[in-house]
């Protein structure tokens, strides 16, 4: 089991990290799905930074990636208050708006999306394609 644990203050720092990681995950998800995983992670990190940390420069977003034989776990945590969101059912998106698609995208791409009770952390699970 491989683990990567990083923290960053802005989404642009996340882009640097994820740019190096995504080519390594092609074997796990395939070329098409690795792009979708990149999109879902970007949405989750942006939500954590914008809505959780309120873009505060003194707060970080924490990312832990755990790679196993069957799946990859992405844990994204912000330092905010959390949000009371019912994620037990799939979110719908408003196609008329440029905003509000993040949770919808995350849930469509990942096999499981599990928020923490506080609402400031998500566990995103993506199964390998060959399992």
Q: Cα 84 from chain centroid? A: 18
Instruction: Give every CB contact of residue 1 below 8 A, 6+ residues apart in sequence.
Output: 66, 67, 68
Q: Is residue 86 part of a domain?
A: yes
* pLDDT tens, position by position, 75-130: 999 999 998 766 545 656 666 666 778 889 999 999 999 999 999 999 999 999 87
pTM tops 0.85, yes or no: yes
Instruction: Give every CB contact of residue 81 below 8 A, 6+ residues apart in sequence.
Output: 52, 119, 120
Q: Is residue 59 part of a domain?
A: yes
Q: Is residue 22 part of a domain?
A: yes
Q: Is residue 108 part of a domain?
A: no
The CATH number given to whatever domain includes residue 51 is 3.30.565.10
What is the number of structural domains in the chain?
1
* pLDDT tens, position by position, 17-70: 999 999 999 989 999 999 999 999 999 999 999 999 999 999 999 999 999 999
Q: Is residue 95 part of a domain?
A: no
Q: Is residue 99 part of a domain?
A: no
Full residue range of the structural domain in which residue 26 is found:
2-90+113-127
């Amino acid at each position: 089991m491989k683990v990567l644990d990083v923290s960053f203050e802005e989404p642009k720092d996340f882009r640097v990290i994820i740019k190096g990681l995504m080519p390594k995950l092609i074997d796990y998800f395939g070329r098409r799905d690795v792009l979708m995983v990149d999109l879902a992670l970007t949405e989750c990190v942006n939500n954590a930074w914008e809505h959780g940390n309120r873009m505060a420069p003194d707060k970080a977003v924490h990312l832990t990636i755990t790679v196993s034989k069957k799946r990859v776990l992405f844990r994204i945590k912000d330092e905010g208050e959390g949000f009371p969101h019912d994620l037990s059912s799939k979110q719908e998106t408003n196609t008329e708006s440029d905003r509000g698609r993040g949770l919808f995208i995350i849930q469509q791409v990942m096999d499981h999306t599990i928020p923490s009770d506080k609402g400031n952390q998500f566990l995103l699970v993506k199964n390998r394609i060959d399992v």
